[in-house]
Chains A and B, each alone.
Chain A
Amino acid sequence: MKVSVIITLKKDVLDPQGKVIHQTLAGMGFDNINEVRQGKYFEIDTKETDKKKAEKNVEDMCKKLLANLVIEDYKIIGSE
């Protein structure tokens, strides 16, 4: 089963890379942007076949390694 998870910076954490991407996009003519926030995407192919167990397992991975909960939030966006 493949579990997909995205990790984003918490709202109150400064995202300088997002800001630069925003400025660059604006410079290219995309002038309708309010804000850009950059994040990470992981696709974890696990041997687990039970969806609930697989997601629980990935959640554990997020807490222990994939995300730093001081600055980041994680969200499991799908499993198939």
Chain B
Amino acid sequence: MHSSVITFPGSNCDRDMDVALKKFGFKNKMVWHDDVELPKSDLVVLPGGFSYGDYLRCGSMASKSKIMKSVLNFAQGGGKVMGVCNGFQILVESGLLPGVLLRNKYLEFICKNVFVKVNNQDNSYFKDIKKEVYEFHIAHNEGNYFCSNDQIKDINDNNQIAMFYSDENGNVNEQSNPNGSLQNIAGIFNKQKNVLGMMPHPERMIDPALSGEDGSLFFENLINNLR
């Protein structure tokens, strides 16, 4: 399986993602934002970070960079595109995913482990996933998911919510919502479920000595599903 991680100026989780993808068997290539063509890929990942210094709105500048035309074509042709954290912000700004990520409700940069409950397993990312509730890390200032009433109706009608912030038992409630996200949304799909955006970082949970192994479950399952 071939993957590509796009590096934008200000990306800082691109190497972690590279390490994670390779650990679980992907042949990964790093792709510079100013490149025009994507290498042969079964999965394209937009990593976390602070692309373009978060100028204007997080992800807005990166969403217009050269490589994004190829990423848009790839996604529109059914290719798998995953955005994590700033990558999620880039995906909403590019129009591949609905909605927007606002500043966290309590105006704090949040850096901690949270629990997320996977909502939809009918897709290549979570099909046959072994657990329902995962411990992942979040680190963001703008992760407060928001969209219009029409959009949230569409999202629910098409079962596009990928994961909710929850407690460790999978209860989705206000206490387990770290940033004020609408309906506790931590990640969403596009309608076709080939594009996934999420604020939590699975690539930070791939080593028991450093953190935990819930990210390992995610990547192992992902490569098996893509094979």
Is the CB–CB distance between A71 and B100 below 8 Å? yes
Is B106 an interface residue, CB under 8 A from the partner?
Answer: yes
Is the CB–CB distance between B107 and A20 below 8 Å? yes
In the complex, how many angstroms separate the beta carbon of A61 from the nearest chain B beta carbon? Answer: 11
Q: How many residues of B contact A (CB 8 A)?
A: 19
CB contact between B56 and one of A66, A70, A71 (< 8 Å): that residue: A66
> Closest residue of chain A to B60, judged by CB?
A65
Q: Which residues of B contact A13 (CB under 8 A)?
A: 102, 146
What's the Cα separation between A71 and B98 when bound, in Å?
12
Is the CB–CB distance between A14 and B147 below 8 Å? no
What's the Cα separation between A70 and B105 when bound, in Å?
17
Is the CB–CB distance between B147 and A70 below 8 Å? yes
Is B99 an interface residue, CB under 8 A from the partner?
Answer: yes
Binding site for A on B (CB under 8 A): 56-57, 60, 64, 93, 98-100, 102-107, 146-148, 151, 180
Knowing that A65-B56, A68-B93, A71-B102 are A-B contacts, what are 15 other residue pairs whose CB atoms are under 8 Å apart, sorted by A's residue number? A14-B102, A14-B105, A16-B105, A16-B106, A16-B107, A17-B103, A17-B107, A20-B107, A65-B64, A68-B57, A68-B100, A70-B98, A70-B99, A70-B146, A70-B148
